[in-house]
Chains A and B, each alone.
Chain A
Amino acid sequence: MKKTKSNKAWFLVLPVFILVAFSAIVPLMTVVNYSIQDIFGATRYFVGVEWYREILNDSRLQDSLVRQFVFSGSVLLIEVPLGIAVALMMPKAGKWSVVTLLVLALPLLVPLNVVGTIWQIFGRADIGLFGWGLNALGMDYNYAANPMDAWFTVLLMDVWHWTSLIALLCYSGLRAIPDAYYQAASIDRASNWAVFRYIQLPKLKSVLLIGILLRFMDSFMIYTEPFVLTGGGPGNSTTFLSQALTKMAVGQFDIGPAGAFSIIYFLIILLVSWLFYTAMTHGDSK
């Protein structure tokens, strides 16, 4: 769509700019400030990039970074296809479509710590259906003792909580495809796969962009759920970046290194999101 050129539009954007600047720029500047100083009581020393060097060489943090990437990658690889599949299976109209919409939205509205609490119980072998069921099937499942199980539980918890987001967005995308497309496809005797590949998937692109970006950002910042479920353990198996950072900043009060950590953390999310954004909007230059 052609847009009018007008700098007066700035007045419409100004409230957003002021509001977000208040809650974003000032704190970000503070973090940058921390990250280049050694704060020793009231005295501050300028230390330059020393904290950054320290953080980048810290093997525990490197581990949690790798863990974080594996986790976010798994989240996207499972939730995006599953969400599309669920959207395709949803009834197109009528009473049942409203019912499924409501049920799908339900997990999204559970506060993060309650999600952790639910799975904490649900996964226990003695009193939770899930843990009990897995053990009854002959698996030795115990999320509190076995790192792999803990990891798996956090992943499943995330899939349970957030796949609906992708599904709802994709459902909306599918609803917006005019019937004429499907009619044309059936005249051409297109297979289901061809309909999906050449009609549905391209139409889903823009909602998938929103879905993938949101899921990437949020899974990369995951904190509360693993914290409630396992407290980051056993060992460090479910200590993701946010938790490592919070331990450093609030637990040990290492403000300088924590500041440097924050900036690096933020830049990574920014870079990866930008890559997704550019890759997915590439080609439809408006």
Chain B
Amino acid sequence: MNKKKTLGLSVYIIFLLLPIYWLLMMSFKDNSEILGGLSFWPDTFTFDNYMTIFTDPTWYTGYLNSIYYVALNMIITLTVALPAAYAFSRYNFMGDKHLFFWLLTNRMSPPAVFLLPFFQLYSSVGLFDTHIGVALAHCLFNVPLAVWILEGFMSGVPREIDETAYIDGYTFPKFFVKIFLPLIRSGIGVTAFFIFMFSWVELLLARTLTSVDAKPIAAVMTRTVSASGIDWGVLAAAGVLTILPGVVVIWFVRNHVAKGFALGRV
């Protein structure tokens, strides 16, 4: 039984890793070798593709832009979603159920639907091509999700804790920051992971709302398509580099994610 499980899992993990391995190998090859045929290992190992990216400002600022707006989005989303999730998990108030479902409907709105009006709205209020603009736009799908997940974690914390804190003379903000947030720390870790993930991989809105100053790396990648064809090596190297920040994030939240997944009200 256990052997079967390990085997099944190994097969699945190989399936997950093979395409990534392929990308990684390609990033160390030059273009003639990539297009030359099938090979599992680079004949001539080269770092040229990576050098191109690290020396060309249009490339590396793309990364900085992406990291910047994703971080902004995480901060904004958590700041507004935490109190809201608390309200949904602890109180009945006028229109709470409708509001909750309305929030969810925003997670359902296809970015393609909002492209034109977003472009117009953000241009007219001066948010076009700014990091904060993209961060705000990504709130459209991240805030509802964050409220949704956090509400689950908060409902798992017994109400008695809130009441005891009030009896002990804590004010709401003090209780929230000092007692409540540490209790759901793992839940916040998991939520942060989801926020990062969805904002990091999104391209359509990020590309439409930026032109030069805040252009994300994913949009810069389309640059490699030139008259002479696609520069596959550089494209692969850029692809590998887009995965790295994610790896760093998982590494940092790994304990929270493992624990948070175990503690949530599920």
Contacts and interface: CB of A to CB of B under 8 A. Distances in A.
Interface of A: 1-10, 12-13, 15-17, 19-20, 22-24, 26-28, 30-31, 34, 85-86, 88-90, 97-98, 100-115, 117-119, 121-122, 126-130, 132, 160, 164, 168, 171-173, 175-176, 192, 203-204, 206-207, 210, 214, 217, 220-221, 223-224, 241-243, 245-246, 249-250, 255, 258, 262-263, 265-266, 269-270, 273, 277
A109 B109 contact: no
Contacts of A246: 112, 115
A13 B37 contact: no
A111 B196 CA distance: 11
A258 B115 CA distance: 11
Given A90-B9, A241-B112, A266-B108, 10 more contacts: A15-B83, A19-B139, A19-B143, A30-B116, A103-B16, A106-B20, A117-B236, A164-B16, A172-B190, A263-B113
A118 B19 contact: yes
Interface residues of B, number: 106
A252 B89 CA distance: 46
B212 interface: no
Contacts of B254: 98, 101-102
Contacts of B239: 110, 114, 117-118
Given A118-B22, A265-B110, A273-B108, A7 B93 contact: yes
9 contacts: A15-B83, A20-B139, A100-B13, A105-B246, A106-B20, A117-B239, A132-B38, A160-B15, A224-B204
Contact of A109 (B110, B201, B238, B265): B201
Nearest to A29: B117
Interface string B68-107: 0000000010011101101111111110100100011111
B266 A203 contact: yes
Nearest to B17: A103
A106 B246 contact: yes
Contacts of B144: 20
A175 B260 CA distance: 10
The winner among A34, A203, A266 for most chain B CB atoms within 10 A is A266
A195 B235 CA distance: 48
B8 interface: yes
A153 B99 CA distance: 39
A123 B160 CA distance: 56
Given A12-B86, A86-B9, A176-B262, A269 B108 contact: yes
B231 to A, nearest CB: 12
Contacts of B106: 20, 23-24
Nearest to B86: A12
A221 B111 contact: yes
Contacts of B26: 121
Nearest to B8: A89
Contact of A27 (B117, B152, B258): B117
